[in-house]
């Protein structure tokens, strides 16, 4: 069976490396908070259907569907755990760019990214523990790596919540400083994260064969289901094409860098799970760009003929 030994692969990181990764993650979340505006949240209450339905699809439906996939297809436990971790992560800022390219509702994408990132301090650890606990294979894996629920929730709150609060306070009390820091921090955190992923890939290149045969098919399938889920929810609710594009992209593009960092720092660097998160980080860019290119050619200006729902 392909990937039969993947659950035994551990991507070892020194304590210094874990500390550095934690600081990079904190920097990323601080940068995300600097992008949040009161207007993003006001828009949700003005036109709640699209953003709230998207957040429900992203934060509730996708983790549940992911659990169902793992129960039905029964991938190796570490692969299943990686899928659950990615599904529990909030949207990433790259989704805003992809939505803009797709001529979708960028404001809707930005508001969903901001709110899901804020909620992630609670929803991410709870979704991981809840759904992984319902799958016997991943529940056993959590016990194997000695994940204590209270400790995991507390450390995740610390890792995500403190920089988010610091960023929000900076925006509120030091707006000029926030404006100066916003763009440099986004670039710096992105460069750090890409550099870390590349370094981890080079260091663990011997596992590329395992990734191609045992992990990549699940990453592609999982992402395709996320795309279908976002699009399906939008269509069932009768949202405009303008909003549908944003919602579909937002539900299918997750902050997999956050997922990778959590796996490496909280789950003993489980190889299968880490490969899923890293693979998703690359693949969702491919699928997102392809989707944006197709939509752009199909109808370059949906906002001209359709109002937002």
Alpha-carbon torsion, ordered 278, 199, 258, 60, to 10 deg: 10
What the block records as the tokens of 213 is: 């045969």
What is the per-residue pLDDT for 178?
A: 87
The yes-or-no verdict on residue 307 having pLDDT over 50 is: no
Q: How many CA atoms lie within 13 A of 46 on its CB side?
A: 10
Q: Return the pLDDT at 162.
A: 84
Mean pLDDT within 260-269: 78
Query: What is residue 285's predicted lDDT score, i.e. its pLDDT?
Result: 86
| pLDDT for 101 beyond 90 | no
Given this model, what pLDDT does residue 305 score? Answer: 47
Give the model's confidence band at 13: pLDDT under 50 very low, under 70 low, under 90 confident, else very high: low
Residue 193's pLDDT is what? 65
Confidence band of 12 (pLDDT split at 50, 70, 90): low
Percentage with pLDDT > 90 across the chain: 29
- CA distances in angstroms from 220 to 216, 281, 284, listed in the order given: 6, 11, 8
pLDDT at 82: 93
Torsion of CA 126, 75, 265, 193, to 10 degrees: -100
Q: Residues 133-144: what's their mean pLDDT?
A: 91
How many residues in total does the chain contain? 309
pLDDT at 70 > cutoff 90: yes
C-alpha 258, offset from chain centre: 7
What pLDDT sits at residue 309?
44
Residues 233, 53 contacting (CB under 8 angstroms): yes
Average model confidence (pLDDT) across the chain:
81
Rounded to the nearest 5°, which phi and psi values hold at 247?
Answer: -65, -40
Asked if residue 150 has pLDDT above 60, the reply is yes
Residue 207 pLDDT > 90, yes or no? no
């Amino acid at each position: 069976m392909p990937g039969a030994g993947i659950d035994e692969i551990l991507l070892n990181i020194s304590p210094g490396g874990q500390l550095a990764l934690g600081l990079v993650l904190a920097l990323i979340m601080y940068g995300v908070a600097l992008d949040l505006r009161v207007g993003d949240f006001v828009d949700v209450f003005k036109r709640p259907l699209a953003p709230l339905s998207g957040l429900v699809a992203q934060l509730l439906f996708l983790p549940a569907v992911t659990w169902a996939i793992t129960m039905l297809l029964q991938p190796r436990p570490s692969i299943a755990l990686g899928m659950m971790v990615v599904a529990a992560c909030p949207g990433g800022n790259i989704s805003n760019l992809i939505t803009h390219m797709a001529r979708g509702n960028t404001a809707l994408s930005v508001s969903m990214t901001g709110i899901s990132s804020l909620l992630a301090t609670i929803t991410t650890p709870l979704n991981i523990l809840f759904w992984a606990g319902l799958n016997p294979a991943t529940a056993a894996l959590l016990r194997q790596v000695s994940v204590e629920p209270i400790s995991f929730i507390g450390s995740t709150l610390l890792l995500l919540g403190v920089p988010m609060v610091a960023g929000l306070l900076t925006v509120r009390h030091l707006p000029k400083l926030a404006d100066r820091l916003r763009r440099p921090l986004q670039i710096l955190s992105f460069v750090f994260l890409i550099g870390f992923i590349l370094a981890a890939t080079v260091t663990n290149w011997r596992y590329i064969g395992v990734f191609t045969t045992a992990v990549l098919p699940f990453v592609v399938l999982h992402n395709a289901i996320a795309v279908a889920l976002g699009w399906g929810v939008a269509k069932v609710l009768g949202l405009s094409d303008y909003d549908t594009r944003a919602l579909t992209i937002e539900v299918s593009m997750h902050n997999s860098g956050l997922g990778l960092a959590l796996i490496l720092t909280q789950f003993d660097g489980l190889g299968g799970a880490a490969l899923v998160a890293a693979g998703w980080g690359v693949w969702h860019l491919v699928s997102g760009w392809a989707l944006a290119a197709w939509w752009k050619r199909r109808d370059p200006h949906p906002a001209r003929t359709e109002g937002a729902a």
